[in-house]
Structure formats: C-alpha cells, structure tokens
Amino acid sequence: MRHLSVPSKETSLWREKLASNGWLANGCGIHNLGEMRAIALNDRAPLEIEPFEIIELEAIRPTPKHWTERLDAQLYKLHESDWPMSHDQIGDVIVVKIPPQITSFSKEIGNALLEQHSNARIICADNGVKGKFRVRDLTMIACNGLATTRTQVKENGNQFWVDPGAAYYSPRLANERSTTIDCAANLSSTLGRKISVCDPYAGVGPALVPLAKRGDIIETIFGSDLNPKAVNLLELNLPGHWTGCIDARELSSELGECCDLLLVNLPHDFISHLPELLGLLQRGHEVVIRGWAILSLESLDNAEIQIRDVLSTCEIISLSLEPNRSYSPNDTYACIEVHLVIE
Ligand SMILES: C[S@@+](CC[C@H](N)C(=O)[O-])C[C@H]1O[C@@H](n2cnc3c(N)ncnc32)[C@H](O)[C@@H]1O
C-alpha cells in the first residue's frame, strides 16, 4: 500500500491534512521509520504529494478481535447467527463445533481460526464424543504444521501429552485433580507413610502426572485404561510407573490389593463398576475411593444409598457426595469421596 513518508514531528499535522483532502486510508496504523513516519494513503490520493516521498509498505491493520472478522464480509452476513462463538483449545489444537447449515464453510472457518490464534497449529471440527472411550470424533479443517492432533498441554504447572482425537481428556477437570493431590497428602498423613494410588480409568493420566511428582507422599502409582491409544500416551506421561491396558473390572486379578487411594473417573458407570474395583484396595486400614459420577439431581439420595449398599461389608468412616457442577438441566457431575476400612 502507498504511504506518505513525513518527518516524525509533523505526523499529526500531515495526518490531518491527508484526512481533510480525503486521501487518508482509514483503519491503518502509522509505520515508525526512525526519524520519519509513513502514513497510509487511499486510492484517491494523488501520485505525488510535495515535498515528501511516497513509498510502498505493507499496511498495518489492527488485529481482528474475533476470528469471524477474518471471514469474507458478505459470507459472514449471510449466516450471521450461525457462526460458532466458542471453541476449545487443547495445546496447539483447536476444536470447534460447526452447525450443520455452515459445514460447507468449514475450510473458511478453519483458516480464519488458524490466522486468529497464532499459537494454534491445527483446527478440527468436533463431531461429538463417541463410544465407551469417550473420544471426540474430529475432522481436520485447517493446519499449518504437523497434521496430528497429538499435542502437549500444561495443567497446574504439569506438562503432558494428550490427543483429543484418540483419547479422552478434559481441561475442565483440572481443579478436581488439584483436590486429588490434597486428598492423597491427607491420607498419607493419616497413615503416617507414603501411599499407593491406582487409577484404573486413567486416560492419558492427567490425575496421575501431578501425583508422580510427589515422591514425598506417593510410594507407587498404577495407571490403566481400556483404550490402547490412551495407554500409549499414559506410558509417555508416566515413565517408570506401572501402566496397563485392561478392563478396570479385571484389574484386581492382576494387581491384587494394590492401593490406598483408588480413583474412579467413569462418570456414567461409577456405581455399576464399583463392586468389581473393591479388590484393588488394601485391607485392614483406612483407604479412600475418590470418584466422579453423573447423577440425576432428583436421585442423589438414592445414589448414596446404592454406594453404601455396595460398601455394606466395609466400615465407612465418611462418605461425601458433592454435586459440584451442572452436567445438564437434570443431571449433576458429582465428586464422591469415601473413606473406609475393608476388613
Ligand atoms: C471420563 S474418562 C477419564 C479419563 C481420565 N481419568 C481423565 O480424567 O482424563 C474415562 C476413561 O475410562 C476409560 N474406560 C472406559 N471403560 C473402561 C473400562 N471398562 N476399563 C478401563 N477403562 C475404561 C476410557 O477409555 C476413558 O479414558
């Protein structure tokens, strides 16, 4: 774009002159060229403006505040109320839900998001969470590097590998995982020794990675998942620790009574799997089950009765069921913590 190069002291004077003549290019920034400044000219400006030089420079345009401002203006207007207003960023992967009526513009959406977010490498359309492994069905719509959804994330100061297209991972549970560390520290203090932790639904291991750093309270870590792709990442994230790829309900036949703290993050099946997980807990002293379940708001009392029923042969020291977060209008995502002794 053509710019008029003027002495820096006369910048505002010349900016006003150009504007009053109708020659100023609107919305462009002013280049700093040391002692000179370059002011952008529009097409109506003449070829020469005495006594200064006109030079060709890239226009400085303000960065759009939202990626939709990067779409073609006519296209944007045509579907004004359809463009997705939110997306998730997991490491350098952005996943976005695209409404069916605008899927034919996926490429435009992907390119605009990629341009807007300089720390993104790949943009994927999110077609929803599928199957028992709770993995998102992703379609790549734009990419400026390696075409893989494997990426690294940082959570509470811990860095680890995830792959939103291959294994479950939700950054929204980061707070829950900090509380798990407090729970482990308290149990270690109660028992007066380091504890062993088992996470049979570990996914890529976001709950175990921070515990693996706590050699002061953790003796042994056992992490397993039924999704082989999750276990590949789990092994990367937990070098030197026990990892397995096995149905959680069969894990106790392999590991026996291995742990003091049992994590159960299988929100849709927490209660039904619980009976077959008890064999993983050590006997004769206080142990803790910390789990998460999606429960109907109306049936919280009933859920507690069911859990107590499963644990009827154990001494329950305490049982808390906190409906922490809303999952849907009728359901809550509850955190369950049971302190118990199995004789
Ligand atoms: C809600 S995700 C939790 C993953 C991980 N704990 C986290 O917080 O990111 C549930 C995990 O359980 C795994 N899974 C489902 N059924 C399983 C089973 N029968 N045995 C072991 N893992 C199972 C899934 O593959 C998934 O990774």
Span 248-288, pLDDT tens digits? 999 999 999 999 999 999 999 999 999 999 999 999 999 99
CATH number of the domain at 67-149, please? Answer: 3.30.300.110
What ranges do the domains of the chain cover? 2-56, 67-149, 170-341
Q: What is the pLDDT of residue 61?
A: 85
Ligand 1 pocket: which of 158, 177, 181, 226 to mutate (most atoms within 8 A of CB):
226
Asked whether 141 lines ligand 1 (CB < 6 A), one says no
Asked whether 133 lines ligand 1 (CB < 6 A), one says yes
Asked whether 28 lines ligand 1 (CB < 6 A), one says no
**Do residues 115 and 70 make contact, with C-beta atoms less than 8 angstroms apart?**
yes
Average pLDDT, the chain: 96
**Do residues 155 and 89 make contact, with C-beta atoms less than 8 angstroms apart?**
no
Separation CA 159–CA 155 (nearest Å): 6
pLDDT tens-digit profile of 9-43? 999 999 999 999 999 998 899 999 999 999 999 99
Q: What is the pLDDT of residue 208?
A: 98
pLDDT tens-digit profile of 77-129? 999 999 999 999 999 999 999 999 999 999 999 999 999 999 999 999 999 99
pTM: 0.85
Ligand 1 pocket: which of 201, 251, 252, 327 to mutate (most atoms within 8 A of CB):
201
Q: What is the pLDDT of residue 324?
A: 80
Asked whether 52 lines ligand 1 (CB < 6 A), one says no
Across the range 325-332, mean pLDDT stands at: 87
The model's confidence at residue 325, banded by pLDDT at 50, 70 and 90, is confident
Does the pLDDT of residue 320 top 90, yes or no?
A: yes
Q: For the chain, percent helix, then strand, then coil, each to nearest 5? A: 30, 35, 35
Across the range 323-330, mean pLDDT stands at: 85
**Do residues 297 and 331 make contact, with C-beta atoms less than 8 angstroms apart?**
yes
Q: Hey, what CATH topology would domain 170-341 get?
A: Rossmann fold (3.40.50)
Ligand 1 pocket: which of 266, 276, 333 to mutate (most atoms within 8 A of CB):
266
Across the range 230-249, mean pLDDT stands at: 98
pLDDT tens-digit profile of 177-210? 999 999 999 999 999 999 999 999 999 999 999 9
How far is CA 158 from each of CA 76, 177, 209, rounded to the nearest angstrom?
39, 11, 7
Q: What is the pLDDT of residue 62?
A: 82
Ligand 1 centre and the CA of 50: distance in Å? 72
Does the pLDDT of residue 328 top 90, yes or no?
A: no
- How would DSSP label each residue in 169-220? --GGGHHHHHHHHHHHHHHHHHHTS-EEEEETT-TT-TTHHHHHT-TTTEEE
Relative to the CA of 168, which ligand 1 atom is closest? 27
The model's confidence at residue 294, banded by pLDDT at 50, 70 and 90, is very high
How far is CA 283 from each of CA 184, 266, 279, 336, 340, rounded to the nearest angstrom?
17, 23, 9, 20, 10
Asked whether 203 lines ligand 1 (CB < 6 A), one says yes
- CA 297 distance to own-chain centroid: 26
Ligand 1 centre and the CA of 225: distance in Å? 6
How far is CA 240 from each of CA 1, 139, 160, 226, rounded to the nearest angstrom?
58, 34, 15, 20
Across the range 149-153, mean pLDDT stands at: 98
Residue minimizing CA distance to atom 23 of ligand 1: 226
Ligand 1 centre and the CA of 305: distance in Å? 24
The model's confidence at residue 227, banded by pLDDT at 50, 70 and 90, is very high
How far is CA 143 from each of CA 5, 67, 103, 188, 323, rounded to the nearest angstrom?
38, 16, 17, 46, 39
CATH number of the domain at 2-56, please? Answer: 3.30.70
Asked whether 248 lines ligand 1 (CB < 6 A), one says yes
Asked whether 266 lines ligand 1 (CB < 6 A), one says yes
Across the range 281-298, mean pLDDT stands at: 96
